[in-house]
């Protein structure tokens, strides 16, 4: 019955426009930013396998588990009386990517044919029991509203269509059924790399299914399982692959990542344009969207046209989107829903400021599964979601975002102004940020406008791939006083404030002597003047106090945090609702009532069946 209920619940979650999450003990906030943290420590633990993570949660070794994707785990955890479960739609998708730099995948028609061989529904049914994922065809999904182009080329599973595309492109088959080109030469071997079966069994099986489908149409396809760290290095840095399968999450309100994924400027080591797309027309549209659009309408026109080209290129093909399913032990309250992210995963920053037990508003240690391997804690190099869980609690940015609306809100910068400028006959902007006067680094040194200036200039001068787009339009940074930063921008893009406001701020006194940003491991080097600390110094709410890489990371509350909780706060009328509740947007009441009605009918049907069968069913 539990499995049946969860299946229906997740179907209800798919109702267009409906956004609610089943939660327990949610602490609803109305104003941000908030002060904290309330807990003394966070202990992130790596368990290695989903089985080990689930077992640790059920035994009480940890309190929180995110990224639950196996249907069997969802069913088991939902029956545990000591746990609560949350389901949140997220901006997430998993995809198969092609290296289009080399033959034979530099041929667009082969890529399109393979895209038609991805058995999305079989993947969802066989590996996820049709519960935790939704097969998708669009890279920019309908959840992005007006930014989604519904008319792009898509590639549903269709082996006959795949063969038709190959034949139209001049390919054929030899007497052994192997694919040959128009000159009767065998098409070269194609290897799809994936994590090992031991490390990521689901990803391994997905790659296996795709390779099997490729072999059925005569493609000389193979699977290679590699350690996850090695996979990321081969894909992101070395570009040593033919095909791979990965996922991306926390995509934000706008499809800004399309610039990162497809502009030729990001076809560099550690850039996100891993397939190697270099299309001048696409570059022009993406640049216009990202940096030259002054209104939503201008940006929308450019990105919708860009999606047409992206669809035709078929350099990546989406496979599925997944709900953020999380479980936590009863007794923890104060968690905050982050739209498109969840409650505890990477990007759920406000939860970690407000989380506490129902018995005490402050103090204690919360133990959390990290989710997967952490390559590095270098904040300029680590792009993985698991490392970012730690990094985002240690380092800050000028602005933050409202967890529900995504709108920018004050943070390190208490307020800001945007002034129009004329630069050599062209329009520009000056962004003026007024910093919090009590902000300090975790080693006690003051955080000033010079640190902000240094951070932006360091990212720009070193051409750090992850941050290339956000510093692209920065012309000059000035620090006229310790608490004022002025950033001169080329153009008047609607994204200028978001870009600069979201830049990670690093301490000049630590990073000024770092010449090789890729190899620097701040968590492994002792602080030059503060015993007990490392060079992993930020201004955020938590300090890295202890670690055993590959096993655990202990974070302690930062006593110098500029948003530190000053005194015990009184609960508001909406806080700490222990009973199960559903939270929905005001303009979605009608759809919410429909969902409630469906669930009531299901519950009534269940009770009738129970009575008739005289069975005792616990759920």
- What is the reported pLDDT for 233? 93
Pairing of strands 408-410, 413-423: unpaired
Taking alpha carbons only, the member of 151, 90, 158 closest to residue 121 is: 158
pLDDT band of residue 567 (cuts 50, 70, 90) is low
Average confidence (pLDDT) over 586-593 = 37
Q: Could you tell me what percentage of the chain is helix, strand and coil, using 3-state DSSP and rounding each to the nearest 5?
A: 35, 25, 45
- What is the reported pLDDT for 250? 85
Position 283 pLDDT exceeds 60: yes
pLDDT, tens digit (0-9, with 9 covering 90-100), for 117-160:
999 999 999 999 988 899 999 999 998 999 999 999 999 999 99
Calculated CA dihedral for residues 196, 373, 81, 335, nearest 10 degrees: -140
CATH code 3.90.76.10 for 404-518: yes
Residue with tokens 């070794």: 61
Position 382 pLDDT exceeds 80: yes
Average confidence (pLDDT) over 451-472 = 96
CA 217/CA 161 separation, integer angstroms: 11
pLDDT, tens digit (0-9, with 9 covering 90-100), for 221-247:
999 999 988 999 999 999 999 999 999
Least confident of 66-70, 354-358, 455-459, 611-615: 611-615
In this structure, the number of other CB atoms found within 10 A of the CB of residue 613 comes to 9
pLDDT band of residue 9 (cuts 50, 70, 90) is very low
Confirm if 554 and 40 have CB atoms less than 8 A apart: no
pLDDT band of residue 281 (cuts 50, 70, 90) is very high
Confirm if 369 and 62 have CB atoms less than 8 A apart: yes
CA 388/CA 312 separation, integer angstroms: 33
- What is the reported pLDDT for 475? 96
CA 72/CA 78 separation, integer angstroms: 10
Position 23 pLDDT exceeds 60: no
pLDDT, tens digit (0-9, with 9 covering 90-100), for 538-558:
999 999 999 999 999 999 999
- What is the reported pLDDT for 434? 98
Question: Quick one: fold of 93-279+309-321?
Answer: Dipeptide-binding Protein; domain 3 (3.10.105)
Query: What distances in angstroms separate CA 272 from CA 268, 305, 469, 472, 563, one per listed residue?
Result: 8, 21, 11, 15, 34
Confirm if 307 and 258 have CB atoms less than 8 A apart: yes
- What is the reported pLDDT for 130? 86
Pairing of strands 243-248, 190-195: parallel
What is the distance of C-alpha 578 from the center of its chain? 29
Average confidence (pLDDT) over 250-257 = 90
Helix (H, G, I), strand (E, B) or coil at 353: helix
pTM: 0.85
User: Average model confidence (pLDDT) for the chain?
Assistant: 88
Average confidence (pLDDT) over 489-511 = 96
pLDDT band of residue 252 (cuts 50, 70, 90) is confident
| Residues 6 or more apart in contact with residue 300 via CB below 8 angstroms | 146, 147
CA 498/CA 256 separation, integer angstroms: 11
Position 215 pLDDT exceeds 50: yes
- What is the reported pLDDT for 33? 79
CA 392/CA 533 separation, integer angstroms: 18
């Amino acid at each position: 019955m539990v499995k049946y209920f969860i299946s229906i619940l997740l179907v209800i979650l798919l109702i267009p426009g409906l956004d609610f999450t089943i939660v327990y003990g949610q602490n609803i906030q109305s104003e941000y930013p908030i002060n904290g943290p309330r807990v003394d420590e966070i202990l992130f633990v790596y368990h290695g396998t989903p089985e080990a993570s689930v077992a640790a949660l059920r035994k009480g070794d940890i309190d929180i588990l995110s990224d639950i994707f196996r249907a069997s785990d969802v069913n088991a955890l939902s029956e545990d009386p000591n746990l609560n479960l949350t389901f949140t739609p997220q901006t997430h998708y998993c995809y198969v990517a092609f290296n289009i730099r080399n033959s034979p995948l530099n041929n667009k028609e082969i890529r399109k044919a393979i895209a038609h061989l991805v058995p999305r529904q079989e993947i969802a049914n066989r590996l996820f029991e049709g519960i935790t994922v939704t097969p998708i065809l669009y890279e920019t999904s309908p959840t992005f509203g007006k930014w989604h182009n519904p008319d792009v080329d898509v590639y549903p599973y269709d082996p006959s269509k795949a063969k038709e595309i190959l034949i139209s492109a001049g390919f054929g088959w030899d007497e052994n059924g192997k694919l040959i080109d128009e000159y009767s030469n065998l098409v070269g071997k194609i290897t799809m790399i994936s994590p090992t079966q031991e490390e990521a069994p689901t990803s391994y099986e997905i790659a296996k299914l795709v390779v099997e489908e490729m072999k059925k149409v005569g493609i000389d396809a193979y699977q290679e399982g590699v350690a996850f760290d090695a996979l990321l290095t081969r894909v992101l840095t070395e570009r040593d692959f033919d095909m791979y399968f990965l996922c991306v999450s926390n995509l934000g309100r706008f499809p800004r990542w399309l610039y990162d994924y497809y502009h030729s400027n990001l076809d560099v080591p550690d850039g996100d344009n891993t397939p190697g797309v270099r299309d001048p027309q696409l570059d022009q549209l993406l640049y216009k969207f990202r940096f030259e659009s002054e209104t939503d309408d201008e940006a929308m026109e450019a990105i919708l046209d860009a999606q047409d080209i992206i669809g035709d290129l078929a350099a990546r093909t989406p496979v599925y989107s997944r709900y953020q399913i999380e479980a936590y032990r009863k007794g923890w309250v104060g968690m905050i829903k982050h739209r498109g992210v969840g409650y505890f995963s990477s990007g759920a920053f406000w939860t970690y400021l407000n989380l506490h037990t129902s018995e005490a508003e402050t103090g204690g240690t919360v133990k959390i599964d990290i989710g997967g391997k952490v390559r590095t804690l270098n904040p300029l190099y680590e792009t993985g979601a698991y490392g970012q869980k730690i990094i985002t609690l240690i380092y800050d940015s000028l602005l933050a975002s409202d967890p529900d609306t995504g709108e920018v809100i004050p943070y390190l910068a208490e307020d800001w102004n945007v002034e129009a400028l004329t630069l050599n006959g062209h329009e520009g902007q000056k962004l003026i940020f007024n910093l919090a006067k009590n902000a300090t680094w975790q080693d006690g040194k003051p955080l000033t406008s010079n640190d902000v200036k240094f951070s932006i200039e360091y990212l720009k001068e070193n051409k750090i791939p992850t941050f290339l787009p956000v510093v692209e339009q920065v012309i000059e940074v000035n620090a006229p006083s310790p608490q004022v930063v002025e950033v001169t921008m080329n153009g008047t893009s609607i994204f200028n404030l978001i870009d600069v406001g979201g830049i990670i701020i690093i301490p000049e006194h630590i990073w000024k002597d770092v010449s090789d940003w890729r190899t620097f491991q701040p968590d492994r080097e002792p602080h030059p003047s503060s015993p007990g600390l490392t060079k992993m110094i930020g201004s955020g709410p938590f300090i890295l106090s202890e670690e055993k890489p590959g096993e655990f990371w202990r974070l302690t509350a930062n006593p110098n945090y500029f948003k530190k909780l000053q005194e015990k706060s009184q609960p508001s009328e909406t806080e700490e609702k222990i009973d199960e509740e559903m939270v929905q947007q005001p303009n979605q009441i009608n759809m919410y009532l429909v969902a409630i009605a469906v669930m009531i009918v299901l519950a009534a049907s269940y009770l009738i069946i129970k009575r008739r069968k005289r069975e005792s069913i616990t759920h």
